[in-house]
Structure formats: structure tokens, C-alpha cells
Amino acid sequence: GKCVMTNTADLSVYPQQFIKDGYLDAKIVVGAQAPTTDVTAAIDIAASLQHALFTNTGSPIGIGVAVLDTEITDPLNKNLIVIGNPCYNTVSALLMGNPLSCTVGLTNGEGRIKLFNNNNKIQVLVTGYSAQDIQGTAFALSEYQSFDLKGTNVQVIVIDPHQVIVN
């Protein structure tokens, strides 16, 4: 096995690896061309992080935590939570090795939470087969306290995607 100096490269300690000196040390990245469901997924994750941060430190999350993929330079040297598939989010594509398929390794009704450790920075990828699967996977991450997230690659089965009513 590989010797790891800290345990921050594991989903079991999420979101602690993103809290530094009482503040959030990460950005949430959504693709500039992504569906709006990726934005709502980012809002859920940001609200969850705000709750964790305020509960643990009393600090607010801060304005500017959510950014577009086009605004991120050198993503492998930043702490990031990246939402979406590689066809809509260039940072997702980079983390996944620029796959030819948007849904590589996924089936309908499935999402993944993957943790990457590059240059002592943590990137968490939230992706899924469909927009609803990405939403459901983001829900699992935002409700991390209710789920047994551990390791670096968690499968999320999305049985009942969010149902909404649009007026």
C-alpha cells in the first residue's frame, strides 16, 4: 500500500479538508455550458458547506465560492468541488482524463463522487449519467452526514431524481 501522510484524501473526512483557519478553502466549479440543474446542485452543496462551516467555526462561507469552469486557472493546484460531466465542465474533463464519452463508466440512474489529490490539493468531482443523476449525487454529497462516504470513489444510485413543478 501507499503511505499517505494525512487522511484528507478520503471522503470520510469531507468537508474538513476544505476548512482552513475557520474559513472555506475551496471553490465550487460549474461548467459555463452546463444545464441549470448543475447550478442547483452547486447551491445545495454550498448551503451544506455553509451549515458545516458555521456550525464548526461560526464563519460565513463568503461570496464568490461558486465559479464557472472558464474562470479557473490551474485547477490541479486548487481545492475544488467540481460539478458535472466532462462534456459541460472542462475541469471535470481534466480530472477524468478528457474521456471521449460524457458518461464514461456510468449507467442511467448512477452518479459518482470522486476525490482526487493533486499537488497536495483536493478536488472532489460530482458527476452522473444524466442531469438528474448529477443532482442526486450532489444531494448525497450535501447530505454527507447521512451517508457513509469513504474512500475516493463512491457510487451513488439515483432511484428517485428530484421532482419539481414549474409554473
- What is the structure's pLDDT at 59? 77
Share of the chain above pLDDT 70, in %: 91
CB atoms within 10 A of CB 74: 8
Compute the distance between CA of residue 44 and CA of residue 50 in angstroms, rounded to an integer: 10
Q: What's the pLDDT at 56?
A: 74
Would the pTM of this model clear 0.95, i.e. be above it? no
Q: Quick check: 46 pLDDT over 60?
A: yes
Cβ atoms of residues 60 and 68 within 8 Å: no
Predicted confidence at residue 86, as pLDDT, reads: 95
| 1 or 23: which leads in pLDDT | 23
Q: Which helix (H) or strand (E) holds 153?
A: strand 153-157
**∠ CA 137-139-142 to the nearest 5 degrees?**
115
What is the pLDDT confidence band of residue 145, given thresholds at 50, 70 and 90? Answer: confident
Give the pLDDT score at 160. 66
DSSP designation for 162: P
Q: Is the pLDDT of residue 165 over 50?
A: no
Burial of 120 (0-12, 13-18, 19+ CB in 10 A): exposed
pLDDT band at 162 (very low <50, low <70, confident <90, very high): low
Mean pLDDT for all residues in the chain: 87
Strand order of the β-sheet with 121-128 is 66-68, 27-30, 80-83, 121-128, 110-118, 153-157
